[in-house]
Amino acid sequence: MSETNLTAAQAPVVASGRSEPTIGLWGWVILAVAFAYAGYAMRWDWLLDWYPQLIRGLGTTMLLLATTVFLGMLLAIPIGLVQVFGPRWLSIPARAFCTVIRGTPLLLQLWLLYYGLGSLFPQFPAIRDSFLWPYLRQAWPYAVLSLTLSYAAYEGEVFRGAFAGVPKGQLEAARSFGMSPWHSFRRIWFPQAFHRALPTLAGETILQLKATPLVATITVMDIYSVAAQVRQQTYLTYEPLLVISVVYIIVAMGLLKLFATLTNTRYMRAPN
Amino acid sequence: MALTHSPEALRAEGIRKSFGSLEVLKGVDLTACKGDVIAIIGGSGSGKSTLLRCLNLLEHPTAGSLRIDGEEVGLTPDGRGHLGAASNAQIRRIRTKLAMVFQSFNLWSHMTLLENVTEVPVRVLGIPRDKATVEAMELLDRVGLADKANVYPAFLSGGQQQRGAIARALAVQPKVMLFDEPTSALDPELVGEVLKVITSLAEEGRTMILVTHEMGFARDVANHVVFLRDGLVEEQGLPAQVLGNPKSERLARFLGNVGRTSDHSTDYGRQ
C-alpha cells in the first residue's frame, strides 16, 4: 500500500503548456542553403590549425562559467537570505552590494579588479612573498572573482524574492513541530525557494555565459579570445566569429535543457 | 476545571501578550488535563488564536508561565519585551509534544502527503524510516487518505489537506493537539469531513485544545468551553452551561450572532 503506485489518473500532471517549437521544413531548407553558401564562399581551412586552441578555449569558457555560477550561487543564497530575515547590519550591506554590482558595467568591475587590485597587490611584500602570489599575478583569478561577484549580485536578488515567496505558514509549521532553524531551512525553506528561483536562474546563467568573453580583455584565453587571435593572424573577419557563435548557441541550448530538467517538478502550484 | 482527576497535560498561567501598545491577552489561565477537549471561542480580535500560539511559543507571551506534560517551560526575556524559550533544545522537544493544526493547513508543498507525515518522526524524533512509513500509512488510512499518500498537497482539496495535516500532527504522538480554527479556511461542504476526524480523535480520549467557530461542534465534542473576550476569559465551564445557558450578556449576544451563520456545523456527523 505504501508503494509509489500512482495510476495515470492520480498522478499530478502539470500542464506543460506549448510543445517545443520546431523549425519546420523551411527552416531546415534555409539553414542548408546558409551552410552551403558558407562552405562554398568562405574559408574554413584555418580550422585544421586552430581547432585544438578553440577546444581549449571552450574548456576555459566552460570552466569559468561553471566555477563562477557555482561560487556565485553559494554567495547569492546568504545574500538573498539576509535581505529577507537578517538583521539590518547584514541586510543593508547585502542590498548595497547588489545595488552597486548590478548598477555598474561588468567590464568596469573586471578592469577595476584586474588593473586596480592587481597592480596594488605587488606593492605589499607580504602578498608578494605569500604562496598566493603565483596565482595573484595571473589574470584568471580576477576573471573568476569579478564574474562570481556579478552572478552573486544578480542571483542574490533572485533568491531574495524566492525566499520571500515561500509561504510563511509552512515555515511556522516547521517551527511548531520542533524543527531547528537549520533543519527548517534545509528541508523546507531552501528546497522551495530554489525551485522558485530555477526558471530565472536559467536565464541568468545564459547571460553569464555571454558575459564570459569580457575576460578576453584581461588576457584570459577563453574561446572568444582564441577567435580574436585567429582573426588577427589570418585576416579573416567573419569565419571565426561565426564558428564561436554556433558554439555559444549550442552551449546555451544545452544549459536550457539542463535547467528544464531540473525545473520539472510536480508540486509547483503552491496551495497557499 | 470542572472534571477529572487525570494528570495535567498543559497548564498556562497568567498569559499576557502585547503587540506594541495593543494588549491582546490580559492574563489568561488555561489548564488541560489528560483527555480534556477544550474549545476556545470568542469574536475576532478576542485573542483566541494568539492564546493558542502562545502555548507552543509560536508567539512569545509578554508574561506568564507554561507547564507542558509536567515540565515547566523555561522562559526568558527575548530582548524585545517578550518571553522566549530559555532553551532552544527544550522548546523543540516540547513542541513535538504539542502538534498544531493550522487554519491554512500549512502542509509542506514540495513533499508528498506521506513525506509530510514522516518528515518530523524521521528527522526530528529519529524514528527509523520504514517504521515511520508504516505508521504514517496507518494514520493516512485513518483520515481516509491512504490512496493519496504519494500526492502533492497542491492536488488535494482543502478538506483533504486539513485531514493530511491532522495525520501529520498525529504522527508525532502528541500529548496535546492544538487546533487553530481548523475549518475556517474550508468550503462549507468540506467542513464536515474534517470535523468528523477531529470528533473521532476526541472519542479516543486525546487531549485537544481547539479554537473554533463551530458552536455545534464545540458543544458535542468539547468537555470544557472557554469564552474569550478582549483578552480575558469572560466565561467558562461545561459546554451545555456555557453555550446553552450563558451567564454574561456578551456571550449571549456572541452566540446569537454566530448561531445564525454556523448551522451547517451540526451536520458533520451525518455525512
Residue A74 to residues A139, A159, A164: CA-CA distances in angstroms? 23, 11, 18
CA distance B69 to B64: 17
Dig out the grid coordinates for A52 from the structure.
585544438
Confidence bin at A24 (pLDDT 50/70/90): confident
Beta bridge partners of B99: B177
pLDDT at A155 over 50: yes
Residue % of chain A over a pLDDT of 90: 69
Architecture of domain A45-263: Orthogonal Bundle (1.10)
Residues A175, B95: C-beta atoms closer than 8 Å: yes
Mutate to test the interface with B, among A1, A7, A176 (most CBs of B within 10 A): A176
Quick check: is B239 in a domain?
Answer: yes
Mean pLDDT over A158-167 rounds to 95
- Selected residue with higher pLDDT from B101 and A39: B101
Structural domain count of chain B: 1
CA distance A4 to B149: 8
- CB under 8 Å to A196, separation ≥6 — which residues? A161, A162, A165, A166
Q: What is the pLDDT of residue A11?
A: 40
- Selected residue with higher pLDDT from A3 and B62: B62
Q: H/E element holding A147?
A: helix A140-165
Torsional sign, CA B260, B261, B262, B264: positive
Neighbours of B52 (CB within 10 A): 22
Quick check: is B45 in a domain?
Answer: yes
Q: Which residues of chain B have pLDDT under 50?
A: 1-2, 4, 262-267, 269-271
User: Using alpha carbons only, what angle is made at residue A47 by residues A44 and A53, rounded to the nearest 5 degrees?
Assistant: 155
| DSSP annotation of B248 | S
Q: H/E element holding B67?
A: strand B63-68
Mean pLDDT of chain A: 88
Q: Searching chain B, which residue's CA lies closest to the CA of residue A190?
A: B110
Quick check: is B107 in a domain?
Answer: no
φ, ψ for residue B177, nearest 5 deg: -105, 135
Residues B110, A2: C-beta atoms closer than 8 Å: no
Dig out the grid coordinates for B75 from the structure.
522562559
Neighbours of B154 (CB within 10 A): 18
Q: Is the separation of the CB atoms in A208 and A69 below 8 Å? A: yes
Where residue B143 falls (left for φ over 0; alpha for ψ -120 to 50; beta otherwise) is: alpha
Mean pLDDT over A102-128 rounds to 90
Q: DSSP states of B170-228 as a string?
A: HTT--SEEEEESTTTTS-HHHHHHHHHHHHHHHHTT--EEEE-S-HHHHHHH-SEEEEE
Chain A neighbors of B154, CB-CB under 8 A: 12, 267-271
CA distance A178 to B81: 23
* CATH number of the domain bearing residue B64: 3.40.50.300
Mean pLDDT over A138-165 rounds to 95
Quick check: is B132 in a domain?
Answer: no
Quick check: is B138 in a domain?
Answer: no
ipTM of the complex: 0.90
Q: What is the pLDDT of residue A270?
A: 43
Quick check: is B248 in a domain?
Answer: yes
Domain enclosing residue B55, as ranges:
8-97+174-264
Q: What is the pLDDT of residue A126?
A: 84
Dig out the grid coordinates for A103 from the structure.
548598477
Quick check: is B140 in a domain?
Answer: no
- A43 touches B: beta carbon within 8 Å: no
Mean pLDDT over A106-115 rounds to 94
pLDDT at A168 over 90: yes
Q: Is the separation of the CB atoms in B91 and B108 below 8 Å? A: no
Alpha carbon B3 to chain centroid, angstroms: 20
Q: Which amino acid is at A116?
A: G
- B44 touches A: beta carbon within 8 Å: no
- Selected residue with higher pLDDT from B260 and A211: A211
Q: What is the pLDDT of residue A265?
A: 62
Neighbours of B72 (CB within 10 A): 11
**CB burial string A166-197: b at 16+ within 10 A, e below:** bbebbbbbbbbbbbeeebbbebbbbbbbbbbb
Residues A2, B149: C-beta atoms closer than 8 Å: yes
Q: What is the pLDDT of residue A18?
A: 56
Residue A189 to residues A175, A184, A201: CA-CA distances in angstroms? 12, 6, 17
Q: Searching chain A, which residue's CA lies closest to the CA of residue B154?
A: A271
pLDDT at A178 over 60: yes
> Nearest Cα to B57, choosing from B10, B21, B121, B22?
B10
